[in-house]
Chains A and B, each alone.
Chain A
Amino acid sequence: MAMEEKTETTVETEAATVVRTQDVKKVYVMGEEQIHALRGVDLEVTQGEYLSIMGPSGSGKSTLFNMVGGLDKPTEGKVYIDDVDVAQLDAYELAWLRCRKIGYIFQSYNLIPVMTALENVTLPMVFAGLTSDEARDKGVELLTQVGLGERVMHKPFELSGGQQQRVAVARAFANDPAIILADEPTGNLDLNTGREIIELLRQMNTESGVTVISATHDHKMLSVSDRVVWVRDGRVDRVIDRDELKIEVGTIDGHE
């Protein structure tokens, strides 16, 4: 698989930090009112880990997702990706980062409606400079991998929500990113379809060593996570590691 080719980055140690945030704050100003969506978040994400960000609605998960992904600028504080301060990047470097380093998955899929599944998946490859032929071959391969090999020519409206999200997963992996960012990838899906997407992400994570950071409400996410960060009112409330998680998951699954 193409994703396994990236070996050059892991020369240092096993536990290289891919993402680090330093006292990240985000204030939305709406007229007179100031909304403190993030009130100082410090976070370190290790290469290859599967990190879930949990928290109640409005706690700032999406805001954090946007900051980490370089999709929006923090009001204060810094975001480092591979020890590079994202705020220092020029437009070309930022576009490169979004194109090659990070793959995004959104709650509402964000596929381009007029394009086929294949065209959606190959779009980031086009931006990366692949030729149409290379992109097509790789796109078909990725779609096959997510179980949509038979549906490459389908438009989003001809696909179910779960299938659309699979296309979005394939698209996120288009340029062999180091990080997959997912904002409530199962938010619009039913229980089983959601579980399938989560398992797909986990499988990609183990196979290719890609770092997965996923904001979620979904307790199904917990069992696959290496670490869970609880966000509350714009702050990191607590962080739970894998060992502790095993115990907690037991109790939560018991509830369900």
Chain B
Amino acid sequence: MADQHELKTQITLPLSKAVEISFNSVKIRFGRSLITVSGIVLAIAFLMSIWAGNAIVEGLISAGDPKINLVLQQKGVEIDPDSTAARQKQSKDAWLAVLSLLVCLVGIANAMLMSVTERFREIGTMKCMGALDGFIIKLFILESTFMGIAGTIIGVIVGFVLTSLLNMSSFGAIIFDHIPLSQILGDGLWAIAIGSVLSLIGGILPAYRAAKMEPVDAMSLEV
């Protein structure tokens, strides 16, 4: 049949186009993106403040300065690492770190999930307009990455700054002399990695699910 030759395959758009569209998408829903990013910022700031707080106090303890020890004891910090009180404190800190990780996990997953599920209809519509599944998934990978990276970096900074201020008000500016910078830097990088990966997973799983559906199913999908 003559008409049969007419059927062609859809072109794959270049990555630059996906970057352009997804960047615009984050920009035009700026208000909504801000809320999603805030969710990520809060979660990561919480995680980071717990980690950085522990690191700062440990830094002060390991300084071994009698004057500092006095202040620490006044504030109820156990400086002898072998005492039972210190052991208890350690396990409490570890528990708090795990808890903050969980809060972070749920917070980010929720923020991303909401931002994608409310767009199922849009995904269905894009499929009707001829978008390839892969392209839609690419868009959401990029969007999640933009928001994830922005949110986690801000979160790490916010978390660190707040904890520093808090500890400064307790112990004075001396904390900056004994701050374990490399450890905090390491914690920060971990937090960024965890937050970005979580944002990516939280954003992609629902987008992948919707992109793989028949367009009508995606359009009628309810959250």
B3 and A96 contacting across the interface, CB-CB below 8 Å: no
Tell me if B2 is interfacial: C-beta within 8 Å of chain A: yes
B70 an interface residue at 8 Å Cβ cutoff? no
Q: Quick check: is B133 within 8 A (CB to CB) of the other chain?
A: yes
Known: A71-B214, A73-B214. A93 touches B8 (CB 8 A): yes
Which of B118-126, B148-156, B157-165 sits within the interface? B118-126
Residues of B within 8 A of A110 (CB): 121, 124-125, 128, 219
Binds A, one of B9-17, B60-68, B85-93, B96-104: B9-17
Are B2 and A12 neighbours in the complex by a CB distance under 8 Å? yes
Given contacts A110-B219, A115-B28, A126-B13, contact A71 B128 (CB under 8 A): yes
Q: Which one of B4, B124, B130, B133 lies within 8 Å of A127 (CB-CB)?
A: B130
Residue from B6, B10, B11, B133 whose CB has the most chain A CB atoms within 10 Å: B10
Measured CA separation A96–B219 after assembly (Å): 19
Whole-angstrom distance between the Cβ of A37 and the nearest chain B Cβ: 12
Quick one: which of B1-38 are within 8 Å of A by CB?
Answer: 1-4, 6-11, 13, 17, 21, 25, 28-29
A39–chain B nearest beta-carbon distance, Å: 19
Within 8 A of A (CB), among B125-156: 125-133, 135
Residues in B with CB closer than 8 Å to A90 are 9
Residues of A near B214 (CB, < 8 A) are 71-73
Q: Is the CB of A92 within 8 A of B9?
A: yes
Closest residue of chain A to B124, judged by CB? A110
The answer to whether B217 has its CB under 8 Å from any CB of chain A is: yes
Looking at the complex, which one of A11, A12, A72 makes contact with B216 (CB distance below 8 Å)?
A: A72
Cβ-defined contact, A126 with B125, below 8 A? no
Query: Closest Cβ of chain B: how far from A84's Cβ, in Å?
Result: 5
The answer to whether B3 touches A84 (Cβ under 8 A) is yes
**Contact yes or no, B11 A98, CB < 8 A:** no
Residues on B with C-beta less than 8 A from A112 are 122, 125-126
B188 at the interface (CB under 8 A from A): no
A residues less than 8 Å from B215 (CB atoms) = 71-72, 98
- Is A99 in contact with B10, judged by CB distance below 8 angstroms? yes
Interface assignment of A180: CB less than 8 Å from any CB of chain B: no
A82 contacts chain B at the CB level, 8 A cutoff? yes
| Contact, CB under 8 Å: A9 / B131 | no
**Closest residue of A by beta carbon distance from B9:** A92
The minimal Cβ–Cβ distance linking A192 to chain B, given in whole angstroms, is 27
- CB neighbours (8 Å) of B130 from chain A are 95-96, 98-100, 124, 127-128, 175
Closest to B27 in A: A114
A129 touches B (CB below 8 Å) = yes
Residue A123 at the chain B interface, CB threshold 8 Å: yes
A104 beta carbon closer than 8 Å to chain B: yes
* CB atoms of B2 and A96 under 8 A apart: no
The residue that A71 contacts in the complex, of B3, B10, B131, B216, with Cβ under 8 A, is B216
Q: Which of A16, A93, A98 contacts B127 (CB 8 A)?
A: A98
| Chain B residues within 8 Å of A69, by CB | 128
- Give the residue of B129, B133, B219 whose beta carbon is less than 8 angstroms from that of A99: B129
Cβ B126 vs Cβ A123 within 8 A: yes
CA distance A219 to B190 in the complex (A): 64
Minimum distance in angstroms from B116 CB to a CB of chain A: 14
Q: Is A82's CB under 8 angstroms from B125's CB?
A: no
Tell me whether B13 and A84 are in contact (CB under 8 A): no
A116 to B, closest residue via Cβ:
B28
Q: Is A199 an interface residue, CB under 8 A from the partner?
A: no
Contact B7 A84 (CB under 8 A): yes
Residue of A nearest to B129 (CB): A124
User: What's the least CB distance linking A15 to chain B, in Å?
Assistant: 14
Q: Is the CB of A126 within 8 A of B1?
A: no
Minimum CB–CB distance from B152 to chain A (whole Å) comes to 24
Contact check, B9 vs A11: say whether CB atoms are below 8 A apart.
Answer: no
Find residues 111-131 in chain A having any chain B CB closer than 8 Å to their own CB: 112-115, 123-124, 126-129
Q: Which A residues are in CB contact (< 8 Å) with B217?
A: 72
A interface, CB within 8 angstroms of B: 9, 11-12, 16, 66, 69, 71-73, 82-84, 89-93, 95-101, 104, 110, 112-115, 123-124, 126-129, 171, 174-175
Closest 3 CB pairs of A and B: A99-B130, A95-B10, A92-B9
Q: A84-B4, A96-B7 are in contact. List 9 more A-B contacts (CB 8 A).
A: A69-B128, A83-B3, A91-B132, A97-B7, A99-B10, A99-B129, A112-B126, A123-B126, A128-B11
